[in-house]
Amino acid sequence: MDIEKIVAEVIPKSDYHHRNGFNNIPLIDRLSNDERDGLEDALIHKLLLESEDEIDTLIVETLAYLKSQKSLPVLYQLLGKCSENLIKLTIAASIFEINMDTSMIDIATGVIRKIDNKNDAYYVHKLTSAFYYLAKFQEPDTIKLLEEYSRHSEYLISYNAKQALG
Amino acid sequence: MPGRSYSSSTGYRYGGQGTEKAVNSNWVNYELRQYNPLLGRFMSYDPYHQFQSPYLAMANNPVSFVDPSGGLAVGGVTGSPQNLKEFYSIDALAESGYSSLWDLIWNTQGIMGMQGLGAGGGGSHAHLRKGTFSKLGKEMVILEELSKATGMSIEEVRKELDEFVNGTGIEIVDAYAEVLEHRVEGELIDRTVNIFVNGSFQSSYSEEFEFKLEGGAYVNPEDFLNDPNMRPGLLAQQRRQKQNEEVLDYIQYGLEGVGLVPVVGIFADGANALIYTARGDYVNAAFSTGSMVPGLGYGANAAKLGLAAAPLFVKFVDKAADGGRAFYSGAGTGERAIAAGFETIGQTRAGKNLQNLIESKNIPWSEAELMWQRLSTTWARGVPDGSTVNVFLNNPRKGAIWFKTELPILLEKGVNIIYK
């Protein structure tokens, strides 16, 4: 079992060429239990080495998909330190995915309201990205919020809110 | 005075620069070409292509320039940059009666042709032509324009531009000069069309139409287009337009990459908006200035620049179709698209610039993805309505840029999508 090789495949280099649309779920699904355990440990270790400004959200999302209980202390710690809204939302959604911590819902909706700021040149892109993390909660508050955005006047915002709702 | 008069059936034929006047036409024979003093234009094509107009004579400034051979105008200001700098001081502008440097440039001959400008200086209509201005002159035009647009002082604008250039390695000054010149070229072309359609003389900005109107022979477009004497000028203009498009492409894609970067992107976005405006592409111009709308986070100066550019958006013309453009999403799809001979976003100048920027600044993927998403928005919006694009997909994740941005834009534009 070559964990380094698995990690390199599951978490490829973080550039556009390797990450554009990259989906590691099929790769993870093919792993044995031992390989998944090894991957989990390696990713937690990797996360511990990253500063809050350089968190690779693909690692966080992968740990959530692995339902990694072991990663929770690290994720909570990162959530407390992280100041970047989209990363915060990713971590909150991932924690919720692992342990259904409902306190994450308020954090998520709070993040949405913060990034809905037309003064930010990237606000459309941030919002559209955020919707897909918000959709992971499948809770009344988050669904209601997405429904509101599905009626937004900005085409890309309403389109993505509808897509996130499914 | 008795005995001192002179008369001849053909008139005195030598004057000006010692050249001989043709007997029947009053045209003047220079060594290489004939000159029509009535029009102030040579009557045949410039063999050396000194100016963009092939018929322009004496650099449009017979006071400062001579052209002994009929092929090359010489003379004008050849002073040091320091002299030019002094020449372009704001005080000098005010004294000369021009409200701005732009006004001065527009109403005179450009740096090469301007000499001894004093109070109430000359104001003959002339052409702003590529190659007419020194780099310093271009820089001064840029600084003046941006200063007016932003309300910043010349020094502040210069500082911002310097920081921009230092930050990216891009010759932004050259880029801006191109932008400004092309904006004027665009106006010239528009004026030409207007004059042509209206059939009456309205300005002296188009030498081809001056000729037409002075000669009085052309009354409709067909006559003009079918006249073999006019075709070289027309073809030259078409060639210029094609070259302009290529230059605009180069600058535009280059700037879009850096235009995505907060702080340093302020001026890049402004330049991009002007390019789009020169091309008549309203939608993309609006996009480019989107980040400069008041309060959008780039600061008040950027907002002012955006507003200054806004009134220039006058019409919408689709950009040229780009049949080789492909989208991709998912592992290995970029390689497949390139191997199949398509152009991907990463191969564009903007894509390369962005990639270099992300690498050089070590921008984390969470932030870089937003930059790519924004560039992808432009990439998708650049696809002509109703055209066909090729898309390479490999099980992309739900929140992929393809699903979030590219696909909805293409759907909205009615683009046919071929999945590979």
In this structure, the answer to whether residues B349 and B294 fall within a common structural domain is no
Q: Which of B295, B331, B400 shows the shortest C-beta gap to A119?
A: B295
Residue of B nearest to A10 (CA): B331
In this structure, the answer to whether residues B222 and B270 fall within a common structural domain is yes
For residue B386, what pLDDT band results from cuts at 50, 70 and 90? confident
In this structure, the answer to whether residues B195 and B307 fall within a common structural domain is yes
Residue A29 forms contact with B (CB below 8 Å):
no
d(C-alpha B394, C-alpha B401), whole Å: 13
CB contact under 8 A, B399 and A26: no
The chain-wide mean pLDDT, for chain B, equals 53
Task: Decide: B375 and B350 in contact? Cβ < 8 Å.
Answer: yes
Phi and psi (nearest 5°) for B66?
A: -125, 160
In three-state form (DSSP H/G/I as H, E/B as E, the rest C), the secondary structure along B377-389 is: HHHHHCCCCCCEE
Using DSSP's 3-state secondary structure scheme, residue B340 falls into coil
Let me know if residue B362 belongs to a domain. Answer: yes
Between B148 and A77, residue with greater pLDDT: A77
Handedness of CA B167, B171, B172, B175 (dihedral sign): negative
The alpha-carbon gap from A22 to the nearest alpha carbon of chain B, in Å, equals: 5
Between B146 and B166, residue with greater pLDDT: B146
Between A82 and B65, residue with greater pLDDT: A82
Q: Which of B295, B328, B374 shows the shortest C-beta gap to A20?
A: B328
In this structure, the answer to whether residues B211 and B294 fall within a common structural domain is yes
Let me know if residue B271 belongs to a domain. Answer: yes
Between B271 and B46, residue with greater pLDDT: B46
What is the pLDDT at residue A17?
Answer: 87
Mutate to test the interface with B, among A125, A132, A162 (most CBs of B within 10 A): A125
In this structure, the answer to whether residues B330 and B308 fall within a common structural domain is no
CB contact under 8 A, B396 and A84: no
Task: Decide: B371 and B363 in contact? Cβ < 8 Å.
Answer: yes
| Domain stops at, among B252, B278, B312 | B312
Count of domains observed in chain B: 3
Interface predicted TM-score (ipTM) of this complex, two decimals: 0.93
Domain that holds residue B254: 175-312
Distances (CA, A) of A165 to A122, B329, B398: 22, 22, 12
Q: Where are the domains of chain A?
A: 1-101, 102-166
| Domain stops at, among B267, B283, B312 | B312
CB contact under 8 A, B398 and A132: yes
What is the pLDDT at residue B418?
Answer: 86
In this structure, the answer to whether residues B237 and B345 fall within a common structural domain is no
Between A33 and B256, residue with greater pLDDT: A33
Q: Which of A20, A84, A90 shows the shortest C-beta gap to B401?
A: A20
In this structure, the answer to whether residues B307 and B182 fall within a common structural domain is yes
**pLDDT average, residue stretch B254-271:** 34
Q: For chains A and B, what is the number of CB pairs under 8 angstroms?
A: 118
**pLDDT average, residue stretch B342-371:** 81
Let me know if residue B48 belongs to a domain. Answer: yes
Let me know if residue B170 belongs to a domain. Answer: no
Of A110-114, B26-30, B395-399, the range with the highest mean pLDDT is A110-114
